[in-house]
Amino acid sequence: MKDLGKRLAGIGEDLSHIDAILITHEHSDHVAGLPVLARNKNVHAVIYMTRLTAPSIDWGDAPPRRLETFQAGSSFPIGDIEVESFSVPHDARDPVGFCFEAEGVRIGVATDLGYIPESIKFHLRRTDLLLLEANHDLDMLKVGPYPWSVKQRVVSRVGHLSNLSMSDFLCQDLDSSTAFLVLGHLSEQNNHPEIVRLMATQALDGRGLHTNLAIAEQRRPSEVFRF
Ligand SMILES: [Zn+2]
Ligand SMILES: [Zn+2]
């Protein structure tokens, strides 16, 4: 929560002014600090997650009052933003990705997915900005420090998207109208930002696309994208 506050302050925002927080799934790298944040009196944000995800989070005494649950796959408005949720193949209870649309601008968010099924490719069409996972380099993962069972989990159909799968998507499916591509959820152990940049650049160049590319970092907020 402290870190989130600091990062928001860095772009001139304040946690107390945030209207909504959307959770994709219950894994700890996504909800660490959420129960504390939900109990904080200065935070007024409504917390959104799927009906099945909510009970799989350890809320402490009771779930927060401002919890709003939705059915995975449904769409709903938050203020003037139309939110579209879609199921993703990942080993969590009921994981989703999101698309956000407002004033003709469409943003897609797809991380924590083992592969990209056709249904998700459909959702990610027409996005002006796409945040896509580039989790691991297959060779680094193979020789890396993870135990065998975890390596198996990561590369499985319900694990994480490899650089190669990301690059395949850019070669075959990325919409030419996507102005900004942000690659994120990079593994610190099994990937390197420069490998991700190289593979993405090669894929984009191969198609003659001039998409703006950004690599999201774990410990620093990305730039602010404006439309
Ligand atoms: Zn996850
Ligand atoms: Zn994750």
Residues 78-131: tens digit of each pLDDT: 999 999 999 999 999 999 999 999 999 999 999 999 999 999 999 999 999 999
Q: Is the pLDDT of residue 174 over 90?
A: yes
Q: Is the pLDDT of residue 57 over 90?
A: yes
Q: Give pLDDT, residue 22.
A: 98
End-to-end CA distance of the chain, in Å?
28
pTM, full prediction:
0.96
For residues 26 and 2, which has the higher predicted lDDT (pLDDT)? 26
Q: Is the pLDDT of residue 63 over 90?
A: no
Q: What is the pLDDT of residues 17-36, one digit of tens each?
A: 999 999 999 999 999 999 99
Q: Output the CA 30–ligand 2 centroid distance in Å.
A: 6
Q: Output the CA 90–ligand 1 centroid distance in Å.
A: 7
Q: Output the CA 197–ligand 1 centroid distance in Å.
A: 22
Q: Is the pLDDT of residue 70 over 90?
A: yes
Residue 92 CA: which ligand is closest?
1
Residue 184 CA: which ligand is closest?
2
Res. 219 pLDDT band, cuts 50 70 90: confident
Q: What is the pLDDT of residues 182-195, one digit of tens each?
A: 999 999 999 999 99
Q: Output the CA 109–ligand 1 centroid distance in Å.
A: 14
Q: Output the CA 95–ligand 1 centroid distance in Å.
A: 8
| AA letter at 183 | L
Query: Which residues fall inside 5 Å of ion ligand 2, going by CB?
Result: 29, 112
What are the tokens at 180? 């900004």
Query: Which residues fall inside 5 Å of ion ligand 1, going by CB?
Result: 27, 112
